[in-house]
Structure 1
Amino acid sequence: MSISFDKALGIHQYSVGVRGKRAEILASNIANANTPGYKAKDMDFGRALKAATSGANIGLSQTNGRHISASANIMGEQMYRVPTQPDTGDGNTVDAQLEQNLFMQNSLEYQASLDFLGAKFKNLSKALRGD
């Protein structure tokens, strides 16, 4: 009997990657909070997760027959966030408090997915050992 990791690990194996990408975007927003003209970005988590679970890939071209074929997962497109505060005159749309709150929420959900994955691997190890 074979083990299907997709069934055993569930959606958390995909959500970790998507949440990691979103953390990068939110961290970039926080880092550019004082950059004139910077527009706050985010991603549609649901759409990105759906793309990751469907296995949608972008094929990378091989310029030489000896190159290893590769593909990259689509992690969702970045979108500009609608500003929640009036323009301060410099064109920056980052609300630092909102970004910090979103980053913290994303971090908690990322950690929860890691905890779920850890528990799944622990249970798989027990099953393989026969505990």
Structure 2
Amino acid sequence: MTQQIPDSLPPIAAAIVVDDGRVLMVRRRVKEGSLSWQFPAGEVEAGESAEQAAVRETQEEVGVTVKASKVLGERIHPVTGRTMIYVACEMVDGRAHVVDAEEIAEVAWIEHRQLTEYVPYSLFQPVQEYLDVTLTR
């Protein structure tokens, strides 16, 4: 069931970080419904773009520097009811680890064949298509 979220809340930018045939995922300390493993993500702050928010949140949550390459798409998330903007990002520097221990419990680099183990529900179609291409090169 979708929660009703006021439209006044800022959108959430999610960073889809692919490196060396794997995608970066985080396990949140607090589940959002069935959502446990997710992409690094957070609210777009006043004055920043979704791309800037995805880069910032990745640094704050897992300590890696990434560069936004393109927006993959936008939707109202079917579980949280929040506007989500998905941003493809490239690794620049760092080693992923838990930085924000209040929010993040664990970090993992996931191969294409492991996606359904970590994300047992269907991904947003543009994200799935992007991962299908970039993780199987």
Q: Same fold (TM over 0.5)?
A: no
Q: Which structure features the higher share of helix residues?
A: 1
Q: Which has the larger radius of gyration?
A: 1
What TM-score bracket applies, with the shorter chain setting the length? under 0.3
Q: Which has the higher strand share?
A: 2
